[in-house]
Amino acid sequence: MTGTSGTGQPSLPGSPRAAVTEIFHHHYRRLVGLAGLMVDDRESAEEVVQDAFESLYRSWGRLRDPQAAVAYLNRSVVNGSRSRLRKRMTERAYDIPDAGTAPSAESLGLDRNERDELVEALRALPRRQREVMVLRYYLDLSEDQIAEWLGISNGSVKRHAFRATETLQKRMEAWA
């Protein structure tokens, strides 16, 4: 029987180990996807997510509810990805995932070439602009949240988002 807490959040198994395992099964793939957007290669993404789950397990006693655990994981993955990227700033190489495993371009209402162009343009963005775009459009964070997560001002978030959008717009127009 699965109980629910007073806030309506699903409850987790009593032991931290079981709870982390359950969260792993529900969120692991999504988090690898998030890390993949930021670090470009799957192995690094997997390591970042492993680190995040281990950190969650270590910090379990300080978390109040399952929602806090998922938020903690999101943030750990973003921090871990940024840290990893910075470490290899000079040896960055893009590894585009196998297009055959991704949802079809048609299912997104995008032409395949158009989507590939957009993927390439997103990956070519300066690191900070790309981080802002991933947090804004993939994690759906507000400007305030992005500013806090990245440790920058709201104005900087706006500037990075504006420049990134402008770059992508120009690239797509040029391609069209």
> At which residue do the structure tokens 């992508």 appear?
168
List 12, 36, 48, 70, residue binding another protein (CB under 8 A): 36
Of the residues 8, 103, 174, 176, which one makes contact with another protein according to CB under 8 A:
103
Q: CA 166 → CA 58, 150, 158, distances in Å?
A: 42, 21, 12
**Of the residues 24, 65, 68, 167, which one makes contact with another protein according to CB under 8 A:** 24
Measured from the CB atom, the residue of 8 and 100 that comes closer to another protein is 100
CA angle 32, 112, 89 (to 5 degrees): 45
Residue 156 touches another protein, criterion: CB under 8 A: no
Considering the rule CB under 8 A, would residue 98 count as an interface residue with another protein? yes
| Residue type, position 88, single letter | R
- Total number of residues that touch another protein (CB under 8 A): 63
Q: To the nearest whole angstrom, how small is the minimum distance from the Cβ of residue 2 to another protein? A: 21
Binding residue for another protein, selected from 22, 51, 65, 143, defined by CB under 8 A: 51
130 CB neighbour count, 10 Å cutoff: 19
Regarding 82 and contact with another protein (CB under 8 A), the answer is yes
Tell me which residues touch another protein (CB under 8 A).
17, 20-21, 24-25, 28-30, 32-37, 42, 45-47, 49-51, 53-55, 57-59, 61, 75-76, 79, 82-83, 86-91, 97-99, 101-103, 105, 108-110, 114-115, 118-119, 122, 133-134, 137-138, 151, 165, 168-169, 172
